[in-house]
Structure 1
Amino acid sequence: MPKLIIDDIPVEVAPGTSVLEAARSVGITIPHFCYHPALAIAAACRLCAVKLLDGPVKGIQMSCALPAQDGMVVSTTDPEALKMRALVIEWLMLNHPHDCPVCDEGGECLLQDFTIAGGHSRRRYQGKKRTFQNQYLGEGIHHEMNRCIECYRCVRFYQDYAGGTDFGVMGSAGRVYFGRFQEGALESPFSGNLVDICPTGVFTDKTGRFRARYWDYQFAPSICQHCSVGCNTSPQNFQRETIKIVGRRNDQVNGWFICDRARFDKGYLNDPQRPREPRLDGATCGYDVAVDAAAKSIAEFVRNNGADKLALVGSTRLSLEGMIVLAQVAEAAGGAKVCYFDDAGLQQGSLAAAKLLHEENAAYVKDIEQAQWIALHALDLMEEGPMLALAVRKAFLAGAQIFLVAGDTLPACKALPFKYTSVETLDQVPFEGGGKGVIICGAGSKDPELLAEMASSGAKLVMLQPGPNGFAAALLTQQHAAGPLAELVAARQVQAVVCFEADVPQTLLSDLEVLANADWRRGAVEAKAPIFLPTTTWAESDGTAINYEGRAQRFERSRVAGLPLKGLDPKYYGSATEAVTLHPPRVHRKDVPGGAERDAWQVMAQLIERLGGEPVEPLTGKWRALKSLDPEGEGVRILEMGLGE
């Protein structure tokens, strides 16, 4: 363990740690642009200069590229180091446009921060600024090449880390250009990370351009709900609208980055046509009125037909809390059935995966990155778990063999950012030394015998679940002996359903009576239900999700429920009798327009009370340990805690 001194502070770090990271470990920030912990060292910006006063190396050095060594005495405040950093900043500002007032990066720009910190406040250069022509890079990213400081972060991420081939660096000397040979939409499904990784405003989120500054946003730690990987995100909200979604670091799940679907697929959160008001027989009503009507409808059905003919239906979109309380609603209804899956195949595969995984065979992301071979079995990786493709690529670059087992679709194979060998069956994959290998498959609709064969191979397992909270749905299915809705309907065991964020297909609905529906989506269930109760999306609620590896993670409410202020119907601006298009509203309101939504599990708790039951806090009993989960932490694997049993 190298021991060194930085600004008179003794520091001991792991071998291979850079001086920059060693300084950061004791709270000393050394300015830098090109350095990023996830990328290879470039030492291109020359801003991280420090002076080595004693030890094996002396003089001015770049701290990002200098490994810490025993006996080093480092000064980050030496006049020579300060002078060099000031000159680097001045040089970078020669051609930089002074467009901070209109730059979307303003407020979160490293160039702003370090220019001010370096004391550069007066322009001495009087020559003509170098200028570039921007490119169209798609609907998600805006390009402003004149702001570039040539740190090479973008190309190092896009080509080296993510495996993209349609974006790079061209030119030389003062004409270096970062872009495409011809303008057009970036092809990489991870291109949105250019927005986060650029230290200036060369790449900004076009979908939220000119909407707000960083200090205007409301945000909180959250979890992506597009697949079962459970990437950590931070939605940035302004005036009840999600403007941007950015990645949040979690080294155990997604590292520093997220996929473009997680970043840009957010329109449904802001959709003004989202169902936001409770309805009873097609007419808007108060929330309590709708809950009372739902409870009455359930009680009448149970009285006339028996509780065993009623099913409470959830889905993998529900939070863990919602899934737990759903079973309480069924009990309060006299012992109604519970369904977490509508499709029998999805439930079968999901349940089998949850039973087969344990602490020894469930793969961490690090296991994928360090594997010697990886088998991808019959899944569309870029659809079911795109961020894992970057982990597989890292293993591939380190020399791992990648096998693609027959069953994958050709378009998905073409998009994979690594080379692979196609094989017909798992028997052609070298299982020898199984602990050094990883099998990645989708658990949904898989034969349990096939999943068991994979588990017996000795390899580490990644079994991607159907839906963002499929693992939790499998655990609750097992705990309550729940059956798939399709089987119950086929056997005529169920005549009516109450749905909570459930996407029941039309083919099943034709044979069912829908008593009530609680959701934030429009769909066939919402259209058929006489009673509708609006619920909050993940951006407007608190909850817990369990990803494919059994990692429980908390997400927090990042904005209040309600219609976005932008584009608000004129009726909300004026008096009750006269609608005028004024902004801001001239009439103070106690209620948020369209803000009737409630968390799904809270709606369930109200139903339990109306049915004469006593709702129990969801995270109690075996789940109590998750109540204190840190939403900004790495989460906990429930397999380690014995909660998956």
Structure 2
Amino acid sequence: MPKLIIDDIEVEVPAGTSVLEAARSVGITIPHFCYHPALAIAAACRLCAVKMLDGPVKGIQMSCALPAQDGMVVSTTDPDALKMRKLVIEWLMINHPHDCPVCDEGGECLLQDFTIAGGHGIRRYQGKKRTHVNQYLGEGIYHEMNRCIQCYRCVRFYQEYAGGTDFGVTGCAGRVYFGRFDDGPLESPFSGNLVDICPTGVFTDKTGRFRARYWDYQYAPSICPHCSAGCNLSPQAYHREVIKIVARRNDEVNGWFICDRARFDKSDLNDPLRPRQALVDGSPVEWEAALNALATRLREFVQSHGADSLALVGSTRLSLEAGILLAELAARYKGVRLCYFIDPAEAQLSLSKVEWVPAGMAASQAELREADFIAILPCDLMEESPMIALAIRQAFVKGAKVYLVAPHLTALNLERLPFQVQVVPELADVPLGEAKRGIVVAGAGFADLKGLEAVPTGVKFVLLQPGPNSFGAALLAREYRAVPLREAIASGKVKGILALETDLPEELRQGLTFFAAADWRNNGAAEPASVFLPTSAWAETGGTWINYEGRAQRYRQAYKTGLPLRGLPARYYGSQEAEPPAHPPRVHRAVAPGGDTRSAWMLVAELIFKLTGEPAAEPYAGKWAPLKHIDPEGPGMRLPAELLAG
């Protein structure tokens, strides 16, 4: 490995590492705009200048484009390097509008940071500034072209990394323009990443425009709930409302980016009609009163109808902690039907896919990005899991051969895929035997797992699941011998249901003697339930989900739950007016309005204590103990063999 000296510090780095990254590895930050670890080198901004004092290269060099070599002596503080960086900043600021007070990037802007760090503070240029006309790029992204510093990050990501074709650069010299040929929504399902990747405020999140500054937000590491890929993100909340969702780097999973669904789909979280009030027989009560009523009615129901008439129902979006405690509650009443799935087919399919994961057969997104042969079984990847499609594109750009197994193409829209595929009628037509890093990708609905047994040894699999924690639900169902709800109801004995964060079909509630529910989604469960308890949403609590590859990841509470300050119906303020009043109620209280909720796992733990008088056991004990110390800010943990084996 190359050994070099940077600012009198000896550094040894892997071959191919740039001088900029070598400096970063020992805590030295070299200013840069165009460089990004996920993108190809452009050396466009000229800000990362360093002075090579000795070695195979000498003089002023761009550290982002210079590979580290043996014998290099690098200075990041040499007067010549400092002067060049200061002049580059001054040149970039000549046409900048200086609108930091009204820019949503304020507080998290690299241009701000490096301008101050470079010592530039006085404008010498007295001429007229260059100006541009902004474009409409859709409802997710706001365009402010006058702030552009021509780093080319946006177009490099959009075209080269994401494969988009409707956004690019036009013009020349100092008159370049980054946008579309005509106004219109950006077509790429990854366009929201322009917000994160732009080092200034050219692209900002329109859905959170003028709402708060970076230092106003409450945020924490979290996981995307929209598919089983388990992409890492961070919800940013202000006044109990999620204003923005940004990508969070995890090199083993999503890398640096997320899809637009993960970034912009926060309607469930911010829904003003979300159930936030505990109800007993439709009447609002305090949380403790509703919990007592639930415990009493459960006890009376079991005494009258028997434990085998009660079904405790979880779901594929329920946290692993809540699922474990739900099984403990079921164990306290012998005969209770424990369910983590609604339909038998979905339950069997999820469990079958879990059984394919041991022995390193599941491929992560990081492995998918490095594959050389990829076979995609019939599915709509851009709908099911866009980030899996983005990972396949990275492999395709590096030369991987991508095949689509599609006997019938009528249901597949190949134009949406950000890579080219060779269509074959059967999986046997894909030459996986030639692969060194072959991977087979299947959608959540793919059920012909036996057909995969003929795949050559060494080929790995991406077997998507229908929900963010379907893998965990399947593990729990196998461990605790749970049954699908439809199967339990078909026995004719189930007369009562306690549904925990479950989207229960209406027909399954017909004919029940007892129905109670706990949820945070506005899915209609509160109205028919005799007892309803509002739970905290995924961004408002902590927990663990397991993605399709068997990687357990922890998410943390980003903000405290409660009614947001905007968009609430008038009835939340005790008003009968058609429009909400201009200010929330001026009532002194310890808990925010609508903040009397609990995490699902906490609800079950409290219910166990109410019913038995004994505290609930630690969820991560015994078999589940290895998952206790997962770092929410780390890469997660591949499940050990003893958990996967069953």
Give the TM-score of the pair, scaled to structure 1: 0.96
Q: CA deviation at 1:621?
A: 1.3
Q: Deviations over 1:301-330 (max 9, x none)?
A: 222221112110010110000110111121
8 Å CA contact 2:357, 2:644 repeated in 1: no
8 Å CA contact 1:514, 1:528 repeated in 2: no
Alignment of 1:478-489 (within 5 A): 478-489=478-489
Alignment of 1:522-601 (within 5 A): 522-567=522-567, 583=583, 586-601=586-601
Q: CA deviation at 1:112?
A: 0.4
Residue of structure 2 equivalent to 1:135 = 135
Residue of structure 2 equivalent to 1:278 = 278
Please tell me the residue identity of whatever aligns with 1:236. Q
Q: CA deviation at 1:288?
A: 1.4
8 Å CA contact 2:49, 2:63 repeated in 1: yes
Q: Deviations over 1:410-430 (max 9, x none)?
A: 454321100111222212222
Please tell me the residue identity of whatever aligns with 2:633. E
Q: CA deviation at 1:117?
A: 0.6
Q: Deviations over 1:396-417 (max 9, x none)?
A: 1122121111267645432110
For residues 517 and 182 of structure 2, the distance between their equivalents in structure 1, rounded to whole angstroms, comes to 50
Alignment of 1:256-275 (within 5 A): 256-275=256-275
Residue of structure 1 equivalent to 2:469 = 469
Please tell me the residue identity of whatever aligns with 1:438. I
For residues 319 and 408 of structure 1, the distance between their equivalents in structure 2, rounded to whole angstroms, comes to 37
Q: CA deviation at 1:448?
A: 4.6
Query: Are 1:158 and 2:161 counterparts?
Result: no
Q: CA deviation at 1:505?
A: 1.5
Please tell me the residue identity of whatever aligns with 1:191. S
Residue of structure 2 equivalent to 1:361 = 361
Q: CA deviation at 1:514?
A: 4.6
Q: CA deviation at 1:493?
A: 4.0
For residues 149 and 514 of structure 2, the distance between their equivalents in structure 1, rounded to whole angstroms, comes to 59
Evaluate the alpha carbon distance shift between residue 540 and residue 412 of structure 1 in structure 2; reply closer, same or farther with a 3 A threshold. Answer: farther
Please tell me the residue identity of whatever aligns with 2:294. A
Residue of structure 2 equivalent to 1:617 = 618
Please tell me the residue identity of whatever aligns with 1:130. R
For residues 382 and 434 of structure 2, the distance between their equivalents in structure 1, rounded to whole angstroms, comes to 28
Q: CA deviation at 1:639?
A: 3.6
Residue of structure 2 equivalent to 1:109 = 109
For residues 300 and 448 of structure 1, the distance between their equivalents in structure 2, rounded to whole angstroms, comes to 45
Percent identity between matched residues is 64
The answer for unaligned runs of 5 or more in structure 1 is none
Match of 2:335, SS?
Answer: coil
Query: Are 1:630 and 2:631 counterparts?
Result: yes
For residues 150 and 514 of structure 2, the distance between their equivalents in structure 1, rounded to whole angstroms, comes to 60
Please tell me the residue identity of whatever aligns with 1:50. V
Q: Deviations over 1:176-211 (max 9, x none)?
A: 000000010000000000000000000000000000
Q: Deviations over 1:363-396 (max 9, x none)?
A: 1223212222111112221222211111111111
Evaluate the alpha carbon distance shift between residue 433 and residue 181 of structure 1 in structure 2; reply closer, same or farther with a 3 A threshold. Answer: same
Please tell me the residue identity of whatever aligns with 1:62. M
Please tell me the residue identity of whatever aligns with 2:117. A
Please tell me the residue identity of whatever aligns with 1:218. Q
Query: Are 1:422 and 2:423 counterparts?
Result: yes
Residue of structure 1 equivalent to 2:217 = 217
Equivalent pairs, count: 641
8 Å CA contact 1:346, 1:445 repeated in 2: no
8 Å CA contact 2:565, 2:584 repeated in 1: no
Evaluate the alpha carbon distance shift between residue 409 and residue 88 of structure 1 in structure 2; reply closer, same or farther with a 3 A threshold. Answer: farther
Q: Deviations over 1:339-368 (max 9, x none)?
A: 111011111110001112113211122321
For residues 581 and 563 of structure 1, the distance between their equivalents in structure 2, rounded to whole angstroms, comes to 14
For residues 487 and 580 of structure 2, the distance between their equivalents in structure 1, rounded to whole angstroms, comes to 54
Q: CA deviation at 1:225?
A: 0.7
For residues 580 and 68 of structure 2, the distance between their equivalents in structure 1, rounded to whole angstroms, comes to 66
Alignment of 1:101-500 (within 5 A): 101-406=101-406, 410=411, 412-433=413-434, 436-444=437-445, 446-450=447-451, 452=453, 458-500=458-500
8 Å CA contact 1:536, 1:600 repeated in 2: yes
Residue of structure 2 equivalent to 1:53 = 53
Match of 2:235, SS?
Answer: strand
Alignment of 1:62-101 (within 5 A): 62-101=62-101
For residues 6 and 319 of structure 2, the distance between their equivalents in structure 1, rounded to whole angstroms, comes to 46
Evaluate the alpha carbon distance shift between residue 569 and residue 491 of structure 1 in structure 2; reply closer, same or farther with a 3 A threshold. Answer: closer
Q: CA deviation at 1:504?
A: 1.5
8 Å CA contact 1:475, 1:644 repeated in 2: no
The answer for unaligned runs of 5 or more in structure 2 is none
For residues 630 and 613 of structure 2, the distance between their equivalents in structure 1, rounded to whole angstroms, comes to 28
For residues 392 and 426 of structure 1, the distance between their equivalents in structure 2, rounded to whole angstroms, comes to 17
Q: Deviations over 1:551-580 (max 9, x none)?
A: 0111000000100123457788899xxx99
8 Å CA contact 2:517, 2:529 repeated in 1: yes
Match of 2:138, SS?
Answer: coil
- Between 13-22 and 587-596, report the one with greater CA deviation: 587-596
8 Å CA contact 2:380, 2:412 repeated in 1: no
Q: Deviations over 1:27-51 (max 9, x none)?
A: 0000000000000000000000000
- Between 519-528 and 306-315, report the one with greater CA deviation: 519-528
Q: Deviations over 1:266-293 (max 9, x none)?
A: 0211111100000011100111111121
Please tell me the residue identity of whatever aligns with 2:155. V
- Between 247-256 and 414-423, report the one with greater CA deviation: 414-423
For residues 572 and 495 of structure 2, the distance between their equivalents in structure 1, rounded to whole angstroms, comes to 42
Residue of structure 2 equivalent to 1:29 = 29
For residues 546 and 30 of structure 2, the distance between their equivalents in structure 1, rounded to whole angstroms, comes to 37
For residues 486 and 448 of structure 1, the distance between their equivalents in structure 2, rounded to whole angstroms, comes to 23
- Between 600-609 and 25-34, report the one with greater CA deviation: 600-609
Please tell me the residue identity of whatever aligns with 1:396. F
Match of 2:64, SS?
Answer: helix
Q: CA deviation at 1:458?
A: 4.3
For residues 144 and 364 of structure 1, the distance between their equivalents in structure 2, rounded to whole angstroms, comes to 37
Give the TM-score of the pair, scaled to structure 2: 0.96
Evaluate the alpha carbon distance shift between residue 435 and residue 81 of structure 1 in structure 2; reply closer, same or farther with a 3 A threshold. Answer: closer
Match of 2:527, SS?
Answer: helix
For residues 404 and 470 of structure 2, the distance between their equivalents in structure 1, rounded to whole angstroms, comes to 24
Residue of structure 2 equivalent to 1:14 = 14
Match of 1:502, SS?
Answer: coil
Please tell me the residue identity of whatever aligns with 1:327. A
8 Å CA contact 1:403, 1:429 repeated in 2: yes
Evaluate the alpha carbon distance shift between residue 511 and residue 451 of structure 1 in structure 2; reply closer, same or farther with a 3 A threshold. Answer: farther
8 Å CA contact 1:372, 1:400 repeated in 2: yes
Please tell me the residue identity of whatever aligns with 2:88. V
Q: CA deviation at 1:234?
A: 0.9
For residues 622 and 181 of structure 2, the distance between their equivalents in structure 1, rounded to whole angstroms, comes to 59
- RMSD of aligned residue pairs (Cα, Å): 2.0
Evaluate the alpha carbon distance shift between residue 418 and residue 582 of structure 1 in structure 2; reply closer, same or farther with a 3 A threshold. Answer: closer
Evaluate the alpha carbon distance shift between residue 117 and residue 220 of structure 1 in structure 2; reply closer, same or farther with a 3 A threshold. Answer: same
